[in-house]
A and B are shown apart, each in its own frame.
Chain A
Amino acid sequence: MTAIISVERLDKSFGTHAALREVGFEIASGEMVTLIGPSGSGKSTLLRHLIGLTRADRHSHSHVRVLDRDVQHGGRLLGASREQRCRAGYIFQQFNLVSRLSVMTNVLIGHLGGMPRWRSLAGRFTRQEHEAALHAMARVGIEELAEQRANTLSGGQMQRVAIARALVQDAEVILADEPIASLDPRSAREVMEILQRINREDGRTVVITLHQVDVARRYCQRAIALKKGRLYYDGPIAGLTDTRLQALYEDAGLDELGTREDWPPATEPLHAVG
């Protein structure tokens, strides 16, 4: 397997607290992987390292490589051109849209990395770029919201705007940090289905941090589990047996075991994507 993401000996401390210790794994192109673990296990911190939002400990042997590019080495971020950086997209739990701008502009922002500087700073988007944005919005089912301000949307709609932004960016790898943690069950399921389609139909690599095991089981083939900052399990999701899960969550509350009942069954069809 040719690794599209590789992490070696990742160490990260916040003060004296060790958030990540010697974490390492590889992810191949086209995989849909979940990073799983109880809250505070370091999964979100790990994901932020993959895009360079967080730096590993200085002078550690940490090495993060994504899409044939060194993102960081020994706690030092390695610079990259905008073209290279826009090959990886990121989705946040809190969406991180620009609330005063329209949905359309928020989606168009996905183009910024691939545009000439004079056009990006002037905010001059071409007709093709507008069309690509509309197409992405249609794929996630929000085309009718184009002119609305982002802060008027519901959580589920905002997350779809964020996904449309990553689609416009044409990212080969999509990293999603707890994309459904702030959503109601129905929106959560819609967002997960969209991410699954991006993985299946576009062949994009998707890495998602989740804390609900049943969601992970439904959508992901592979799981990387973290416990107290250390790699606990890496393999097929089916291998995360109940006994292993019990050990993984032994210190966590029951609600994190994925026994939530508000998760709706996948019977009613969702509106088409793609």
Chain B
Amino acid sequence: MATTISDEMQVRAGRRSWKKPLCWAVALLVLSWAWQGAGIAPGLLLDNFDNMVVLAGDFVPPTFGNLMRYVQEMLVTIQIAIWGTLLAVICAVPFGLFSASNIAPWWINQPVRRLMDACRAINELVFAMLFVVAVGLGPFAGTLALFVHTTGVLAKLFSEAVEAADAGPMEGIRVTGAGRLEEIAFGLIPQVLPLWLSVSLYRFESNIRSATVLGMVGGGGIGVSLWQTLRGFDYAEAATIMLVIIVAVSLLDMLSQQVRKRFI
């Protein structure tokens, strides 16, 4: 008996002894492979250190002459994020429900999931370039781009919350004779609403950050000015714009934090 147990332990120890180094070897291989592809060269940072000091110096002091114009453009950026997120939330509710396996049968949830994958796979900037062609330069193209991409993201997060919901309350409503829609409205939505609200707020925050670059491809907002100043090597001006962005993003993050606390 004693020998079999120790044999087994040896076998187990043996299995562990070659598995662990293998995992490490694979991990190191992947990392060095990616290092090459990513073109990481710390030497360049040291070689160009003097240049970077000069570059950093160009940012200070920021020029505040056009501050009000940038604040105005930042407000447009926020407006783009508000509507881009809101439209996405509205559409993500049905799409999220249709891609949940406990609500919709596979022949509905599979196609809807693939559609949402597509919306998510393409970056907002790419969508913005497409919508600029469709509806012309300006904030509307940016809003549509955020809307489509965010719908894909939120539908997935919403459906995950739905799939994790407790089936008990829904059964409790089903047996009162209520229909499927009432079951969802009264048994499911109250369960998932806090999580839905939380991820929607998070997407709103990240959409403000995304909206600051939409202007670079003609999608409106503060990105236009940022792009122009950077291309014109006008770094003092760019510093002002970045400050405006940092302040606005921080303020809105704090605001959404407060909303989250209040409602959840």
Interface residues of A, Cβ cutoff 8 Å to B: 51, 53, 82-90, 92, 94-101, 105, 109-110, 112-114, 117, 120-121, 123, 162, 165-166, 169
Inter-chain CA distance A9–B73, complex, in Å, is 74
| Minimum CB–CB distance for B104 against chain A, Å | 18
| Minimum CB–CB distance for A156 against chain B, Å | 17
Inter-chain CA distance A92–B176, complex, in Å, is 12
A101–B172 CB distance below 8 A:
no
Tell whether B168 is near chain A: CB-to-CB under 8 Å: yes
Contact of B190 among A96, A101, A114 (CB under 8 A): A101
Closest 7 CB pairs of A and B: A113-B177, A86-B177, A96-B172, A90-B175, A112-B178, A85-B177, A96-B168
A89–B175 CB distance below 8 A:
yes
Tell whether B82 is near chain A: CB-to-CB under 8 Å: no
| Minimum CB–CB distance for B47 against chain A, Å | 60
Contact of B172 among A83, A95, A100, A114 (CB under 8 A): A95
Q: What mask results when residues 154 to 189 of chain B are scored 1 for a CB within 8 Å of chain A, else 0?
A: 000000000000001101111111110110011100
A98–B169 CB distance below 8 A:
yes
B173–A112 CB distance below 8 A:
yes
| Minimum CB–CB distance for B186 against chain A, Å | 6
Of B178, B181, B185, chain A has the most CB atoms within 10 Å of the CB of B178
Tell whether B206 is near chain A: CB-to-CB under 8 Å: no
Inter-chain CA distance A48–B171, complex, in Å, is 11
Inter-chain CA distance A29–B169, complex, in Å, is 29
B177–A169 CB distance below 8 A:
yes
Contact of A112 among B169, B176, B194 (CB under 8 A): B176
Inter-chain CA distance A100–B191, complex, in Å, is 7
A114–B186 CB distance below 8 A:
no
Given contacts A51-B175, A95-B172, 11 further A-B contacts (CB under 8 A): A82-B177, A86-B178, A96-B168, A96-B172, A97-B169, A98-B169, A98-B172, A109-B178, A123-B186, A162-B172, A169-B176
In terms of DSSP, what is the predominant structure of the interface of chain B?
helix
Q: Check A89/B176 contact, CB under 8 A, given A94-B168, A123-B185.
A: yes
Inter-chain CA distance A101–B175, complex, in Å, is 18
A96–B182 CB distance below 8 A:
no
Q: Check A121/B191 contact, CB under 8 A, given A86-B177, A96-B168, A96-B169.
A: no
Inter-chain CA distance A25–B190, complex, in Å, is 39
B176–A86 CB distance below 8 A:
yes
A82–B179 CB distance below 8 A:
yes
Q: Check A120/B178 contact, CB under 8 A, given A98-B187, A98-B190, A100-B191.
A: yes
A87–B176 CB distance below 8 A:
no
Inter-chain CA distance A114–B179, complex, in Å, is 10
The interface residues of chain B lying within 8 Å CB-to-CB of A114 are 177
B173–A98 CB distance below 8 A:
yes
Contact of A120 among B172, B175, B182 (CB under 8 A): B182
| Minimum CB–CB distance for B187 against chain A, Å | 6
Q: What mask results when residues 37 to 57 of chain B are scored 1 for a CB within 8 Å of chain A, else 0?
A: 000000000000000000000
Contact of B171 among A96, A110, A121 (CB under 8 A): A96
The interface residues of chain B lying within 8 Å CB-to-CB of A101 are 186, 190
The interface residues of chain A lying within 8 Å CB-to-CB of B182 are 112, 120-121
| Minimum CB–CB distance for A207 against chain B, Å | 13
The interface residues of chain B lying within 8 Å CB-to-CB of A166 are 176
Which residue of B has the minimal Cβ distance to A111? B176
